[in-house]
Amino acid sequence: MGSAVPLEQDGATAGEESRVENPVEDSEQDERVAELLESSIDVPVFADAVEAQEAPDAADTLEGLGIVQAAEVIEEMETESAAEALAHMHPSLAVGVLEDLIEEDPSYAGTLIEEMAPDDATDLLQNLPDDYRDKLLGTLGKVEAVKMRELLSFDEESAGGIMTTDYLAVRDTMTVAQAVEAIRKSETEEEWIYVFVVDWRGRLQGRVTMKRLLLAESAQKVIDVCDRPVDAVPHELAKEDVAREFEKYDYLVLPVVDATDRLLGIITVDDVVDIIRQESTEDAQKMVGAGREEAVFSTVGEKWRGRFPWLILNLFTSSIAAGVVLLFDDLIGSIAVLAALMPLIANQSGNAGQQSLAVTLRGIVLDEVRPGAALSIVRREAMVGLLNGFTCGVLVGGIVATLHHFFWQNAEIHALHLGAIIGTSMTIALTIGTTVGASLPLVVRRLGADPATASTIFLTMFTDSVSFLVFLGLTRLLLSWV
């Protein structure tokens, strides 16, 4: 256990500047940038201030500028800082800035790509239009261009598409001393915890930590001190499945291999955090029919292309509920209060369905929905809907009956009858809403599609149509009896 060291023995003085910073608070560099933003921007001066920021903070600053102005600032920054800031920017904005840089100076844009980590560079290149990408790749050195083209050959939604080729690897025939010397001469700038061991064909043989390598006897063979076997993922594995493996087993790094176990690259936990964040936002947008990759920075054209098809679909599904209402236009005309009560039931049913939908989707994403468990999940949600529907129905039915008796007093229907209809309709509608909300993503997944895609649109169609049909149908049925 560590012990505290008296300040006077540490040589620190009361006036000495603190060596500890709170990452949540703005740094002096951030405050300086904020001051410059309040006045007209002198690009060289502003670029110096942005360059002094941490790369993620510099990216945030550049994202607040227009694409053209951000490109101008980047051109004035030191190359390494500019590349790091560009890599941390939102992809849609970073691509826009990179396109602007390619048009002005393709060689400089290529230099920025060469400065980036391979996985960050690949992410940007994957999102560039083909003509811009080809122009940029033409400016790279031969070795760098081949490496980039090889990474671009992998599906961007797979493990190969998110891996980096910047890692430490040594031959299995090396001694510990030879391996340490090889690591010292390596060009990687990352502070890796693990070193991978490969044979002469590049096939993965094991993994060893830096600590174990440094503590081992110099004459020992690397293969004798490494961990074997070592977990690895195939390059074609979907990135969502990669994220689940990291979450389940708490990996920090996972190697990526081909069909012959040849080491292709590695995936690190920071890449997985980005995947999880990206997938959660994509699912949220797909649920309501927005473009899966749309961002607040997307162009008007991109937003329109992503949303318009789903709005047309929503127009069609909404017309089904409208058709149900038209079937009872004479009933609504004679008892006007029904028009005010219909949205109440539909809203409650839709909200209950959304709750079940969200919980079920979360279970699918977290891989909690086991084979054969679908029926029990739907049954449990239906019971929750029944209980909530009955409770809400009794409450709302009582209030509606009271209001009708003292204020509305429509001769076409008795207050108790209206209250009973409201209560029964609420119970049925919420039960159906939760059942559909839980079933919809399970059925869609069973059909091989993404369970989140436009699920809200289809759920709303069911809940609105069923709510109107149950409420108005029960009213007409009751009036035909009394």
Q: Going by C-beta distance under 8 Å and a sequence separation of 6 or more, which residues neighbour residue 396?
A: 344, 422, 423, 426
Fold of the 169-287 domain: CBS-domain (3.10.580)
Rounded to two decimals, the pTM is 0.65
User: How far apart (Å, rounded) are the C-alpha atoms in residues 386 and 382?
Assistant: 6
Instruction: HSE, CB side, 13 Å, CA atoms: give it for residue 334.
Output: 10
- What pLDDT does 236 receive? 94
> How many beta carbons lie within 10 A of that of residue 50, not counting itself?
26
pLDDT of res. 25: 64
Residue in 226, 233, 224 with CA at minimum distance from that of residue 196: 226
| pLDDT for the residue 290 | 57
Homologous superfamily in CATH for domain 27-153: MgtE N-terminal domain-like (1.25.60.10)
> 């050195």: which residue's tokens?
141
Give CA–CA dist 119/113, Å, rounded. 10
Residue 208 bridge partners (DSSP): 195
Distance CA 467, CA 225 (A): 67
SS (H, E, C) the chain: CCCCCCHHHHCCCCCCCCCCCCCCCCCHHHHHHHHHHCCCCCHHHHHHHHHHCCHHHHHHHHHCCCHHHHHHHHHHCCHHHHHHHHHHCCHHHHHHHHHHHHHHCHHHHHHHHHHCCHHHHHHHHHHCCHHHHHHHHCCCCHHHHHHHHHHHCCCCCEHHHHCECCCCEEECCCEHHHHHHHHHCCCCCCCCCEEEEECCCCEEEEEEEHHHHHHCCCCCEHHHHCECCCCCEECCCEHHHHHHHHHHHCCCEEEEECCCCEEEEEEEHHHHHHHHHHHHHHHHHHHCCCCCCCCCCCCHHHHHHHHHHHHHHHHHHHHHHHHHHHCCHHHHHHCCHHHHHHHHHHHHHHHHHHHHHHHHHHHHHCCCCCCCCHHHHHHHHHHHHHHHHHHHHHHHHHHHHHHHHHHHCCCCCCHHHHHHHHHHHHHHHHHHHHHHHHHHHHHHHHCCCCCCCCHHHHHHHHHHHHHHHHHHHHHHHHHHHC
Would you kindly state where each structural domain of the chain is located, as residue ranges? Answer: 27-153, 169-287, 300-481
What are the residue ranges in the chain where pLDDT is below 70? 1-26, 36-40, 189, 279-298, 408-412, 453-454, 482
pLDDT of residue 473: 92
pLDDT of residue 391: 94
How far is CA 258 from each of CA 154, 159, 169, rounded to the nearest angstrom? 11, 11, 16
Q: Which residues pair with 196 in a beta bridge?
A: 169, 207
Rounded CA-CA distance 204/253 in Å is 14
Residues with Cβ within 8 Å of 305's Cβ and at least 6 positions away in sequence, in order, are 291
CA atoms within 13 A on the CB side of 366: 7
What is the CATH T-level fold of the domain 300-481, as seen in this structure? Tetracycline Repressor; domain 2 (1.10.357)
Specify which residues 175 forms β-bridges with: 221
pLDDT at residue 8, as a whole number: 43
* Confidence (pLDDT) at 3: 43
pLDDT in tens, 21-77: 666 566 777 777 777 666 667 788 888 888 888 888 888 888 888 788 889 999 999
CA distances to 276, 337, 440, 459 from 282, rounded to whole Å, are: 10, 41, 18, 18
Pairwise CA distance, residues 423 & 399, whole Å: 10
Q: Give the Cα separation of 144 and 164 in Å (integer).
A: 13
Question: Does residue 294 sit in helix, strand or coil?
Answer: coil
- Give the up-direction half-sphere exposure of residue 413: CA atoms within 13 A in the CB hemisphere: 27
Q: Which residue has the tokens 């400065």?
A: 115
Residue owning tokens 């603190």: 18
> Tell me, what's the pLDDT at 168?
92
**C-beta contacts of 25-29 below 8 A and 24+ residues apart:** 27/53, 27/54, 27/57, 29/53, 29/54, 29/57
pLDDT at 63: 86
Please choose, from the candidates 231, 233, 282, the residue with its C-alpha nearest in 3D space to the C-alpha of residue 256. 233
